[in-house]
Amino acid sequence: MNNIQKALENGQSIWLDSISRDMLRSGGLQRFVDLGVTGVTSNPSIFDKAIADSDIYDESLKEYAKDGADRQTIFERLAVDDIRDAADVLRPVYDNASKCDGYVSIEVSPTLAADTTGTVTEARRLWTAIDRPNVMIKVPGTPEGVPAIKTLISEGINVNVTLLFSLDAYTAAANAYIEGLSEFVKAARGMPAAVASVASFFVSRVDSSVDKALPEGHELRGKIGIANAKIAYARFNEIFDRRLGGGGSFFPLHTTGAQVQRPLWASTGVKSTEYSDTMYVDGLMGPDTVDTVPEATMSAFNDHGSPGSDLTTGLDEAIAQINALADAGISLDSITDNLLIAGVAAFADSYESLLGRIEDKLKSLSN
């Protein structure tokens, strides 16, 4: 087995953090699936790059602009096509995994991060338009996003909670899933096992911010991202404890066949040359998790990564590292708060760039 397949055997699903129409039509996504990849995530910057780097979208752009649709509508039509096709490629994975894997994620507009009602409305529209059971709608884990997550899960709409940086935000996302799923079960809206969610906890961005605040050569540099994730994973195991009498709030749902909301490690591409290019993938390997990985990082992991389990060890050390950071006068809460604000802004900027790209393309195609 290759390392991607070994990771899956050890309980972690590797998802590709990339999608393009060229990848779909050339069989590139199928080749990743053949390697052992079991899911795909997307965001505006990924679509922006795909449209910029290829003319494969040109005919669809012209077709979808004929009725005078605005830029947002044109993008949504393009994205729905690609997400639906990717879901079809991954459908055998979904079926073989009994609905526990094989998902493709699409994001609601980042401009709605502070709009609960708008998020729910757009998520419902995307879910209906794509019409595939193995799709997840990405909703930011902002204070306004949390009630939207609960509502969508209660309606049986799969959710990928994104932009999680802090333990409190992760806990809120997990509880929203459980509350939403409890409503779904109480209302008898369908099979609980068919509802899925992941909680996307960002990693490398934490290290990038912490490292800037630490002096050169400090022992905590490059340590806090993984430590923060390990503590979140420990919280996951507390909340989703499936043992009778284990104390977790998920147990009653577990008896209905419901899925846990798996932690998904996001932002796992290494941004500093000081560290191993597989540091985050290697360090966050463990049961009941997902890692969404850029192509370059995936190639590196498959070539020389370590697919053993690291998440289930070193919790005490992780807690000590977080405490040492506070002793050094650095507030991790302030850093994660700022990262959420910056993350929402960056996604919104990427979305606006994408819409501008579509507008420019349409102008060039009309000449």
138 catalytic residue (yes or no): yes
The per-residue pLDDT for 357 is 93
Catalytic residue of the set 49, 99, 138, 212: 138
The per-residue pLDDT for 328 is 96
The per-residue pLDDT for 142 is 97
Domain 3-202+258-305+339-361: assigned CATH number: 3.20.20.70
What residues does each domain of the chain span?
A: 3-202+258-305+339-361
Report strand pairing: 159-164 vs 197-202: parallel
The DSSP code sequence of 211-267 is HHHSPTT-TTTTTHHHHHHHHHHHHHHHHT--STTS--TTHHHHTTTPPP-EEEEE-
Q: Which of 92, 100, 105, 86 is nearest to 25 (CA)?
A: 86
Q: How far apart are CA 213 and CA 120, in angstroms?
A: 37
Is 267 within 8 Å of 288 (Cβ atoms)?
no
The per-residue pLDDT for 180 is 98
The per-residue pLDDT for 367 is 76
Residue ranges for the chain with pLDDT beneath 50: none
SS3 311: coil
Tell me the angle at which helices 58-65 and 71-96 cross, rounded to the nearest 10 degrees. Answer: 120
